[in-house]
């Protein structure tokens, strides 16, 4: 059963942990790595309901706000000449494509949201808002402090930063994002970055943005799709992911909306948990996924545009016709005979 639930107001930030081996580096690497084996985590989380005034393109919905700070980062530096006195340098990478506007680098997190991330580098200069706060990405920002190259210590650099979030496209429904948006590396040489080196800092965002009102499903706030309680296990045999069971007719999913505005074109996105193989919605069963397709059978992965509808002068939209079916996403010839369900949330975006 795939269930459409109307807006949820839940928002959490998860810290992503990375473990690294401190095995050999090239003699000229001059790389620093987390002494603990785990990068310092910066986090930012927000749950917010937008007003109509905020739900417009380029509206800043989270003004420049400090992340949760760890206080310091721990590091050990590897150098071929450990006693040589050199400065410290930091470089960072954005996790999403970005656009530079007035010195800020706006990463496109979703089709609807963009975020700008800044990281603190002690005793540095050049940040567009504060000298020591630098928009990600950057390469070779130094704290202008010389110390012996091979050392273990702690640094304030990378322990804090700022995040700004803005709307890039108005929406109706619930927008979520949870994951890393920036990584930072620490070196003892200028103008260098190698993403395969150990990461010293990770910045994670967890955003849950609700846009109330707008449109509701004509069928009601929840759309239940019965995928067939009598589907036999044998129907999954020799039907590899992402195929439907044999002799199975995909269920119709017809989406039509009643909106509080008229004469608009809207994109429809089905958001939800993606299965391990990337094309279907994960269900309560680890061996079953739900595949959603368009009317012609083309698979629509979770969190991508499923299609579009037009809202007419009566505030009623055209119908988006989709299909849904279960598929065997496990390692067995057929999934266990057990109930399963999946949830998809509808997000509407309009010009």
Residue 40 · residue 183 · CB < 8 Å: no
Per-residue model confidence (pLDDT) at position 19: 34
Per-residue model confidence (pLDDT) at position 1: 42
The first and second tokens of residue 57, run together, are 């393109």
Per-residue model confidence (pLDDT) at position 221: 61
Provide the whole-model pTM: 0.64
Residue 45 · residue 205 · CB < 8 Å: yes
Per-residue model confidence (pLDDT) at position 311: 93
Residue 297 · residue 322 · CB < 8 Å: no
**Alpha-carbon distance values, 125 to 106, 115, 121, 122, 128 (Å):** 21, 22, 9, 9, 9
Per-residue model confidence (pLDDT) at position 15: 27
ω into 137 cis (within 30 of 0): yes
Residues 6+ apart with CB under 8 A from 93: 136, 137, 182, 183, 184, 193, 195
The DSSP line for 81-126 is STTSEEEEEEEEEESS-EEEETTEEEEE-SSSEEEEEEEE-TT---
Per-residue model confidence (pLDDT) at position 133: 96
What domains can you pick out in the chain, each with its CATH number? 31-211 (2.60.40), 215-350 (2.60.40.1090)
- Mark the ranges of the chain whose per-residue pLDDT is less than 70: 1-28, 213, 220-222, 229-230, 351
**What's the CA gap between 338 and 325, in Å, rounded?**
16
Per-residue model confidence (pLDDT) at position 2: 41
94-117, pLDDT tens digit by residue?
A: 999 999 999 999 999 988 899 999
């Amino acid at each position: 059963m795939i269930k459409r639930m109307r807006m949820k107001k839940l928002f959490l930030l998860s810290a992503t942990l990375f473990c690294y081996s401190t095995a050999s580096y090239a003699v000229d690497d001059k790389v620093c790595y987390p002494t603990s084996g785990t990068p310092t985590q910066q986090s930012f989380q927000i749950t917010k309901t937008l007003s109509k005034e905020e739900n417009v393109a380029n509206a800043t919905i989270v003004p420049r706000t400090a992340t949760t700070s760890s206080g310091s980062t721990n590091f050990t530096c590897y150098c071929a000449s450990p006693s040589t006195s050199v400065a410290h340098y930091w470089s960072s990478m954005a996790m999403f494509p970005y656009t530079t506007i007035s010195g800020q680098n706006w990463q496109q997190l979703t089709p609807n949201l963009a975020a700008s991330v800044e990281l603190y580098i002690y005793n540095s200069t050049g940040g567009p808002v504060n000298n020591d706060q630098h928009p990600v990405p950057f390469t070779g920002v130094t704290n202008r402090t010389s110390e012996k190259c091979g050392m273990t210590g702690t640094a304030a650099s990378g322990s804090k930063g700022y995040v700004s979030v803005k709307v890039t496209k108005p929406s109706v429904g619930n927008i979520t994002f949870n994951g890393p948006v920036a990584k930072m590396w620490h070196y003892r040489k200028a103008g260098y970055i190698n993403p395969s080196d150990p990461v010293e800092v990770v910045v994670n965002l967890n955003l849950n943005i609700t846009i109330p009102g707008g449109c509701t499903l004509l069928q009601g706030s929840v759309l239940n799709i019965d995928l067939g309680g009598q589907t036999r296990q044998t129907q999954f045999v020799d039907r590899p992911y992402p195929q439907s069971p044999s002799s199975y007719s995909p269920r119709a999913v017809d989406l039509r909306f009643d909106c509080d505005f008229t004469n608009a074109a809207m994109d429809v996105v089905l958001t939800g948990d993606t299965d391990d193989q990337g094309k279907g919605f994960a269900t309560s069963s680890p061996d079953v996924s739900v595949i959603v397709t368009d009317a012609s059978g083309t698979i629509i992965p979770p969190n991508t545009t499923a299609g579009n509808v037009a809202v007419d002068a009566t505030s009623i939209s055209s119908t988006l016709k989709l299909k849904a079916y279960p598929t065997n996403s496990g390692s067995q010839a057929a999934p266990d005979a057990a109930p399963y369900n999946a949830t998809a949330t509808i997000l509407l975006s309009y010009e």
